[in-house]
């Protein structure tokens, strides 16, 4: 697993009450219609959103905000959480991504195993250096806002992540 240069865990900073991860998903590139195609980070900035980390399709982790800063990624939950976006390979618009995320099956892998490992890497750094005295906590954007959000969707293998988390943190 590669953590790209620039990923900084400032261990001297308090998390200001952040107690869990929120796992999101979006396209690696976003087709916003008339405005064109944007890389994910630029698109988030354009629409006034922010996450702490993105995990690229190849599993590399990019940090966009210090852990000590509040992100703008999950309405009503930003104060207590760290936001992570899994980037789906290619150019996506809202409808195409929603259809991809809804797919559940073994012949299609929207999220590569390297991305699950990227999530585990982020979790490991947080557990080792910040918090989770009460255990590792994470949730999914769609569970926080089921009427509005659909990410990371049925294509995300929750049981695989749960198994990896259990192996890593409960041995």
Q: Spell out the domain ranges in the chain.
A: 20-161
Q: Residue 76 contacts by C-beta under 8 Å, 6 or more apart in sequence?
A: 144
Compute the residue count for the chain: 171
Q: Mean pLDDT of all residues in the chain? A: 83
Give CA 87 to chain center in angstroms. 8
Determine the average pLDDT of the residues in 55-61.
95
Global pTM reads 0.86
Q: What letter does residue 50 receive in the DSSP assignment?
A: B
CA 121/CA 125 separation, integer angstroms: 6
CA 143/CA 83 separation, integer angstroms: 14
> 20-161 — its CATH code?
3.40.80.10
pLDDT digits (tens, 9 = 90+) for 117-141: 999 999 888 877 776 556 678 899 9
CA 12/CA 10 separation, integer angstroms: 5
CA 106/CA 117 separation, integer angstroms: 19
pLDDT digits (tens, 9 = 90+) for 155-164: 899 999 999 9
Determine the average pLDDT of the residues in 92-117.
81
Q: Helix (H) and strand (E) counts for the chain?
A: 5, 6
Closest by Cα among 4, 5, 9 to 61: 4
Is 9 a residue whose pLDDT tops 70?
Answer: no
């Amino acid at each position: 697993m590669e953590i790209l240069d620039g990923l900084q865990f400032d261990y001297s900073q308090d998390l200001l009450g952040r107690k869990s991860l929120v796992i999101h998903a979006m396209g690696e590139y976003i087709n916003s219609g008339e405005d064109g195609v944007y890389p994910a980070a630029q698109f988030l900035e354009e629409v006034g959103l922010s996450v702490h980390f993105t995990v690229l399709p190849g599993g590399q982790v990019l940090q966009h905000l210090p852990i000590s800063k509040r992100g703008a990624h999950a309405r009503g939950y930003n104060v207590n959480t760290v936001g992570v976006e899994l980037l789906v390979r290619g150019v996506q618009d809202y409808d195409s991504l929603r259809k991809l995320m809804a797919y559940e099956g073994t012949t299609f892998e929207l999220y590569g195993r390297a991305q699950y490992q990227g999530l585990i890497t982020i979790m490991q750094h947080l557990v080792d250096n910040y918090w989770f005295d009460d255990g590792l906590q994470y949730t999914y954007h769609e569970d926080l806002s089921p009427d509005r959000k659909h990410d990371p969707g049925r294509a995300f293998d929750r049981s695989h992540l749960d198994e990896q988390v259990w192996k890593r943190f409960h041995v």
